[in-house]
Structure 1
Amino acid sequence: MQSLFLWEIGTPIVYVTWFVVFAAQIAISEINRRWNWTIFVLWTIGGIALMPYAALHGTPMVGWFPFGKYAIMVATATMTGFLLWYGKRNPEKAHRYALWFGVALWIGLAANIMEANIRDVTIFFEADNYLRCAADPACLKQINDAHVGIDMINGLPETRGIEAAVGTPEWYTTVAANFQASGVGIDPATGFRTIGGYWNLLTAAAGALNIITITGLGSIFITSNPAQKVRGLIWPDMLWPWVIAYDLWNHAFLYNALADYTWYCTLALLLACTVPAFTWAKGQWLWFRCFTLMFWIAANNLLPEILVPPSSITNFSTMNPTANAVCAWAAFLFNVGLFGYWIYRIRVTGRNPWKDPLFTNLGEFREIMRLHADDSDKHFIAAKAGKTPSELGL
């Protein structure tokens, strides 16, 4: 098997599909950012209208948990869109309620991270059960029987080269033997291949630190610089150290839980947030994270027969425990470093890390403020840091 360490080397369609997914996620988030009414048409009205279809069509294939995530993301996308819409029309109240804007967004973000942490810990404790299921032909058949309308087993690497007819007892027996030989487990609830190990606990610890280091909840504002044609929801303290720490953590978690889908749901999905935030949409990582995730979860609920089972567009994980460990260690060490820097900044500034902007010393912070803030907002944010705009270099 030729590989790129984390994933197998796929066919050309895998790479074409990746670019389509990456571009589509950026495009829909950018459309939502520029024309806010599209949020409520697509995700509020459209999202609610399609819930019955998602429930009736998607849940027999993938279960109720993805549907629950879909419903939560419809609410989150609507809330995020409302905050931007409200802030544009009520700038003074947006200042007054900035902390509550931040708290609302923090709840959504922190809950998402904590749910993943719980899932990581669960994988660690269920690792032996996943291995037993993968090595049991009856358990593999039960997985397929539970996913009505889609085959979660045929097409996996462990099914390659089997001569027995697909779905026969002989076929399932051979697949189970291949799983046992590879040392790969399978989650009987989801049908996803996974390998449990200490890396799950490392990743969960990284996620907990990532929640703690979300800073500057009271410093969120709406673009007020008249030179900017597009007005965004600006979180000036959500800068590159935290974004990279989040990306490393999220990739490590999903590589532990949904390894065969990370080609799209981390590499494409995370870059679709990070690239804009580091280029033309500075200070707006959370916006792109919200709406790329909304797009991806909606697609998985509405088109599960295309996106969920193994197929020609799946770029399979190598299922190499070393890859899991490397991803987990990278996430853990970077988040420990971020936490240490977070503590250092609290000590030298004396600021409340959740209420006040903490990373005002970074050039990215000053660039975001110059790009998006008018004089009023510069004074508003600087006052929270106990400084004047000139003292902060704004």
Structure 2
Amino acid sequence: MGILYQAADPIYWVIWLFVLFALMAFNELGRVKLWCGLVLFALVPIALTLFVWPETAAPGNEYGTGTWFNWVKTYSALAGCLGFIALRFVKWRGADGKTHYLYEKRWALCFPPLILAINIAEAVIRDFQVFGFALWEGGGVENLWTISGPWNIMNGIAGILNIITICGWFGIFISKDSSKDMIWPDMIWAWVIAYDLWNFAYTYNCISDHSAYCGLALLLACTIPTFFIKRGAWLQHRAQTLALWIMFVMTVPQFADVLAPIPTTHNPTAFFVVSLLALASNVALAAYQFHRIRKLKLNPLKDQIYTDTKAYQRIVEENK
């Protein structure tokens, strides 16, 4: 028996690796080719909404995909993808005869932090909701196993801190290369890691037996490209991989339960430790960011916080 997970057959971990690399591959397609992005995040979802999801994600189905949370998460992730595509590519010729871009508008740059905060808030609400179920010994809710405990409160607080520490969105710009990625240099590695720990804890707490995929694999699918393929574009990677995974789960709901299950150990200690790490990392991030804001006399709603760091400067140098 593992510490976090137990798979009945090692082949399931091979399938897990395939899922990870498939998410990364489709993310790259949607990133470097505009037409691929429009097909993946506009045309395919429309077709699935009309002809597939009413059956595979119907309310009360045996795999739990028909909950309000799944439907809201699906369309909020897709809204993020399409919004980011608009920021990257929408342009027009103004009355002055010059070409103008959507990303030049400060109000448009408020969209990325807003959709990110909404997505985090949805998960925070779910963590608190699972605590309210009072399943202290574990049990089934909406056809998913879960267990209530202090970890839900701890991780809910971590998520709130993660929202508070979103910063520097007026520094978002579009990369100079042909892919025209949405680059957010103030979203440095420290925030990304704190987010990953929080989000993994959320999936472990609330979607326990699916978290090997929707937590571990899905987070790696956007974090690996952030560090090794296209630095500075974490939110773009995150939105696209999240949308891809949710569309797949809504279409093949039996995947994580029947086809390739990797359940958790259902060990309360594991839940506590995972959420403790998430809370500690986000407390540390918030404390450090507050220290910088106070020391440098910055306005967190307008200023970029990390402009003097090597991580920030490297991203700008690579993409401007």
Equivalent residue for 1:161? Answer: none
Alignment of 1:255-266 (within 5 A): 255-266=204-215
Aligned residue in 1 for 2:49: 51
Matched, 1:81 2:99: no
1:47 deviates by 1.0
Alignment of 1:55-70 (within 5 A): 55-60=54-59, 61=61, 62-65=65-68, 66-70=70-74
| Counterpart in the other structure of 1:176 | none
SS in 2 for 1:127: coil
Does residue 235 (structure 1) correspond to residue 243 (structure 2)? The answer is no
Letter in 2 for 1:260: D
SS of 1:193 mapped into structure 2: strand
- The higher radius of gyration belongs to 1
1:174-197 superposed Cα distances (whole Å, 9 cap, x missing partner) = xxxxxxxxx33221xx21111111
Q: Structure 1 residues 280 and 185, CA, compared in 2 at 3 Å: closer, same or farther?
A: same
Instruction: Report how far residue 42 of structure 1 moved.
Output: 2.1
The match for 1:124 among 122, 131, 150 is: 131
Q: Which amino acid is 2:313 matched to?
A: R
In structure 2, what is the equivalent of residue 102 of structure 1? 109
Query: Are the aligned partners of 1:260 and 1:315 in contact in 2 as well (CA < 8 Å)?
Result: yes
State which of 245, 255, 272 in structure 2 corresponds to 1:325.
272
Q: Deviations over 1:201-252 (max 9, x none)?
A: 110000000000001010100012xxx4533110010111100000000011
Structure 1 contact 87–221 (Cα < 8 Å) conserved: no
Rounded to whole Å, the distance in 1 between the matches of 2:241 and 2:132 is 31
How far 1:78 moved relative to its partner?
1.4
Is 1:184 the counterpart of 2:192? The answer is no
1:107 Cα deviation after fit: 1.5
Displacement of 1:260: 0.6
State how far apart, in whole Å, the 2-side matches of 1:206 and 1:231 are: 32
- Matched residues in 1 for 2:145 and 2:102: separation? 46
Structure 1: gaps spanning 5 or more residues:
132-182, 374-394
RMSD over aligned Cα, in angstroms? Answer: 2.0
- Counting matched residue pairs gives 310
- Per-residue CA deviations over 1:253-309 (Å, capped at 9, x if unaligned) read 1111011111111111001111110112100010110000000110111111x325x
Structure 2 distance, partners of 1:222, 1:347, is 29
Find the counterpart in structure 2 of residue 29 from structure 1. Answer: 27
Counterpart of 2:308?
361
Q: Normalising by structure 1, what TM-score?
A: 0.75
Q: Does the CA contact (< 8 Å) of 2:88 and 2:174 recur in 1?
A: yes
Once the 2 structures are TM-superposed, how far is the Cα of residue 58 of structure 1 from its aligned partner?
A: 2.3
**Amino acid of the structure 2 residue aligned with 1:298:** M
How far 1:118 moved relative to its partner?
A: 1.0
Cα offset, 1:86, TM superposition: 2.1
Q: Tell me if structure 1 keeps the 8 A contact 2:41–2:81.
A: yes
- The answer to whether residue 281 in structure 2 is matched with residue 277 in structure 1 is no
Identity %: 36
Runs of 4+ in 1 over 6 A off after TM superposition: 87-91
Decide whether the 8 Å contact of 2:6 with 2:265 is kept in 1: yes
**Structure 1 stretch 45-54 or stretch 26-35: which is displaced more?**
45-54
Structure 2 gap ranges (5+): none
Task: Please give the secondary structure, in 1, of the residue aligned with 2:261.
Answer: coil
**TM-score (normalised: structure 2):** 0.91
Cα separation, 2, equivalents of 1:201 and 1:236: 31
Paired position in structure 1 for 2:159: 207
